[in-house]
Each structure stands twice: as C-alpha cells, then as structure tokens.
Amino acid sequence: MLKQQLQQKLQQKLSPQQIQLIRLLELPAIELEERIKHELEENPALEEGKESLDDLERAENEDESFDTYNSDITTEESIDLGDYRTEDDIPDYKLRELTERAEKKEEIPFSVSESLNEYLLQQLALRDLSETNVRIAEYIIGNIDDNGYLRRDLSAIADDLIFQAGLDVTEQDIEKVLFVIQDFDPIGVGARDLQECLLLQLIKQDEDNIKKLAVRILTEFFEEFTRKHYDKIMRGLDLEEDTLKKVIREITMLNPKPCANWGDSMEISFSQVIPDFVVEAINGDLILSLNNRGIPEMRISREYAEMFEDYTRNKMNQTAQMKEAVLFVKQKLDSAQWFIEAIKQRQETLQRTMETIISLQRNFFLSGDESTLKPMILKDVAQRSGYDISTISRVSNSKYVQTNFGIYPLKYFFSESIQTDSGEEISTREVKSILKTYIEGEDKRRPLTDEELAVLLKDKGYMIARRTVAKYREQLEIPVARLRKEI
C-alpha cells in the first residue's frame, strides 16, 4: 500500500569548495607545489604574481559586476544556461571529480626497468622445454608474487590450466616444471613456503659441514628453529652450542624474500622529506615559519578581468556566442578567486595549528629532549586552536617540522598520558622509551617477558598492566620474548 508522508530532516553537507579545501589542507608542501602548478596550467584566469592595489580594487568591482550580471541573465528569457554548460563551463573542482579515475591512471609512473616476470621469462626461453611445459612454466611465472613465492596450490594451477588453456596435466607434471623455474635467478624464486625458499638457497651454495647441518635443521627441526627452541635442536642433533651458533648464523644470512628488492636492484629510488614548518630556537625564543619556498604568490589575470568588464559593459548588444564567452570567463575568474582564498585559508590553518603545538611542547622545541614531551592528543590542540578535531588530524597527517634537533613528523608530538604512582601525568612515549631500553639491555639468552617488564616498570613508578606492556611492545615492533632469544 502506497503512503504519502511529510518528513523534516536536518543534514550537514559539505559544498564542493569545502571538500577541495579539506583536500588542500591534507597536502604536504611538495604535493601542494604540484597542485598549484597544475591549477596555474589549467586556469588561464590565474597567474603568478603579487596583487597590487589596482588589482584589489578591480577585484571588488568584479564582485559587483558578477552579482549584477547574474541577476541580469536570470531575467532574460533568451538565455538558457543549459545551452552553454559545456565542459569548459563546469567548475574545475567538478571536472576533477569526474576525471579522477583517468588522472589516477596518468599518475602511475612509467618504468623502463625490467620486471621480475620478464626476467624469468627470458631465462625460460633459454631452456629446452616442450611446448606444453613452456605454457605450464609461463602460467607458473605469472602466479609468482613480488617476493618470489608461488602461493597457489599445484592442484589449483592444474584446474586453471585445463579450463583456461585446455591443458590436461597432472600435479606431478606441474611440479617438474616448477623445479626448473626454481633453478632460475634470483636464487629461491618459485618456492612455495619459507622452508623451501631457504633450502633452495642452501642447496645452491658450496657444501660444507655447517651447510649440511643447516639443511638438516631446516628439514628435520624447522618448527623448533622458527620458535627458537635451540635446546631441542642441540639435543636432537647432538650439537655443541658454538656449532649451533655458526649454523644459525648461516641460516639467518639467507634471504627470506629473494625478490622483494627486485625493483631496487634495477633502479635506485631516493626518498626526500620536505618540511612544512621550520621552528628555530634562538636565545630561548621559538620562531615559526611556514615552508613557502615552492609556493608562488598568485593573482587574478588582469587580461581576463578586463575582458569580463568589457563584456558586462555591453550587456545589451551581446550575441549568444558573446554570452557563452562571458559565462566561460566568469567561471574561470570564480575558480581562480576561490583557489587563491583557499590557499590563504590553508596557510592560516597550518600556522595557527603549529603555534598551538609549539605552545604545548615548548620545552621539547627548546631542548630536543624526548623526556620533556607532554601528553598531547588531537582534542588538546583542537580546543586551544579553535578548530575541529578532524581539521587537526588532517593538518598533522603527512606533515613534517624542521627543528634545531632534526626533522620530525607532526604525529611524533601526539601521545596519550598515563599516571605514575605519585599521580603525575607523563607521556606514553616516555614509557615506551624506558621499555625499549630495558629490552635492549636484557640477557638475550633469557629475554624479559611482558610480565617481568611490567614489574620493572612498576618498580620505577609506572603502574602499567602486562597487557599494556604488550601493546606498547607491539607498537615498537619488538617481538615477544621467545622470538628475541639468542644463544
């Protein structure tokens, strides 16, 4: 049964301009430079240069002209905006939304280096194999991942070959071809698991007593090796501790991911961090500046502004083509003016947010001592700066600050707080630093468990549960005690 009802809703929706401003806020300095260059190329009404007093007066006159022109065109029946909404009339922010997928494809870097797949196929061409085995090998190579492993079961590959390539082959046939591929470079490629990968590398090396023992450990005591149950291995193989140390060292020198650095071996990539802020400590004072070296000053094109003024002065004698042209010019001028204002607003937001962070972490910026960092969360900065928490999150994401003591990501200054037994609030970063010191100084024959670490921290006045110690240890990317054990 159909019903009609009246419903009242209150919703908050971001305008396209607000969405674009949010995206600008998230961009680090180096990406903002590229974004501005792109806008300067795409919008002819936007150009580099400082605004003069004449430009500012003209901008005010243009605002009045825009309002007048808008009111005029809505009353003229001869003009239908739909007739003139060509692609050029669509605002830039909408065009970017419509072409986002296409732009992503263009952004994919083109590499002239040889891929792992191509390198393996080249080696395959040098082998004397039947046509069927070549097709099997090509399919296997296509299923090898970036680390060099074949993660698919041979039974699944056999099913694929019969349905996709029309080849009715057994798992044994596929395994024989796989053994050929496992003889290719880099050594260890085509392995189905870590155990097989390490064994392939050992077998390729010159054989001696240590390597023979390494093969036996990986074959007969692989689970004990991964769990670092070295006592069981020594008893099982009747080994001395010194001999086992040499064997373990031999195994740990092998590459568990033989193809992981394939791209790095073909071409060197450089990673450079460009700071967004510079904070200098001079005679006890902190001086903040934004890194605007690559950000040019922008203004409205005088040529386009004058063109619009000419059009608006001759409204009565405009043809349909002239009206189409004036709509195009107006759209470009609107887009340019909005972009300039958005960049200014972005810089103001970054400045005020960083000033708040400096006021909260003043001692660190003066001394560089990590222990002086105070507990600080997004809410603290939001309350002091007057911005929303989501805005602070976007500002702190992917941004870096240069200090007298090095370059730090903004996220470095954010941490939760815990209370000591005296009631003092300290940063969790300080606790993690102490935890890391304990683990670095432990006896590797008998590593400290999370329970033992919690007791040590309590003795120091930090009332922390074992599960909290485990959480901090995982955040520091430190394995459990069992996996830190050495002989």
Question: What is the DSSP secondary-structure string of 382-426?
Answer: HHHHT--HHHHHHHHTT-EEEETTEEEEGGGG-B-EEEBTTS-EE
Closest CA to 62 of 348, 352, 246, 308: 308
Calpha distance 423→134 (Å, rounded) = 72
Six-digit token pair at 333?
A: 């001028």
Helix (H) or strand (E) holding 298, with range, is: strand 298-300
Neighbours of 388 (CB within 10 A): 11
Neighbours of 406 (CB within 10 A): 8
Helix, strand, coil percentages (3-state) for the chain, rounded to 5, are 60, 10, 35
pLDDT at residue number 373: 84
Q: Give residue for tokens 């501790």.
A: 241
Rg (CA), the chain: 33
Which ranges in 258-388 belong to alpha helices (H)? 262-266, 302-313, 320-360, 362-367, 378-385
Please state whether the peptide bond connecting residue 186 to the residue before it is cis, i.e. omega within 30 degrees of 0.
yes
- Secondary structure of residue 140 in the 3-state scheme: helix
Closest CA to 350 of 406, 396, 285: 396
Calpha distance 411→409 (Å, rounded) = 5
Q: What are phi and psi for residue 416, nearest 5 degrees?
A: -80, 175
CA atoms 71, 75, 79, 80: torsion sign: positive
List the chain pLDDT tens, one digit each, 487 residues.
677 778 777 766 656 667 777 888 888 888 888 888 888 888 888 888 776 555 545 555 555 554 544 444 443 333 333 333 333 444 444 444 444 444 443 343 444 456 888 889 999 999 888 999 999 999 999 889 888 899 889 989 888 888 887 888 898 999 999 999 999 988 889 999 999 999 998 888 777 888 888 888 888 988 888 888 888 888 888 888 888 888 888 888 888 888 877 754 444 344 567 888 999 998 889 999 988 877 888 888 888 788 777 767 766 666 777 777 778 878 888 888 888 888 889 889 999 999 999 999 999 999 888 878 888 888 999 999 999 888 888 888 888 999 998 899 998 888 877 766 666 667 777 788 888 888 888 888 888 888 888 888 888 888 888 888 888 888 888 888 877 877 6
Q: Give residue for tokens 């619009």.
A: 308
Calpha distance 107→34 (Å, rounded) = 12
DSSP secondary structure, 232-284, as one string: HHHHHHT--HHHHHHHHHHHHTS-SSTTTTHHHHHS--------SEEEEEETT
pLDDT digits (tens, 9 = 90+) for 227-275: 888 888 888 888 888 888 888 888 888 888 888 777 544 443 445 678 8
Q: How far is CA 206 from the centre of its chain?
A: 42
Q: Give residue for tokens 């609107």.
A: 334
Contact at 8 Å (CB) between 296 and 47? no
- Nearest-5° Cα angle at 444, 438 to 446: 90
- Secondary structure of residue 337 in the 3-state scheme: helix
pLDDT digits (tens, 9 = 90+) for 77-99: 333 333 333 334 444 444 444 44
Six-digit token pair at 169?
A: 């082959």
pTM as predicted: 0.54
Closest CA to 397 of 38, 31, 39: 31
Calpha distance 355→128 (Å, rounded) = 69
Six-digit token pair at 192?
A: 């189905």
CA atoms within 13 A on the CB side of 218: 24
CA distances, 166 to each of 133, 163, 484 (Å): 13, 6, 50
Helix (H) or strand (E) holding 285, with range, is: strand 285-290
Calpha distance 434→431 (Å, rounded) = 5
- B/e letters for 34-71, b = 16+ CB within 10 Å, e = fewer, are eebeebbeebebbbeeeeeeeeeebbeebeebbeebee
Six-digit token pair at 141?
A: 């190579």
pLDDT digits (tens, 9 = 90+) for 352-369: 999 999 999 999 999 888
Contact at 8 Å (CB) between 129 and 180? yes
Query: Residues near 289 by Cβ (< 8 Å), separated by ≥ 6?
Result: 277, 278, 280
Cα end-to-end distance, the chain, whole Å: 78
DSSP state of 148: S
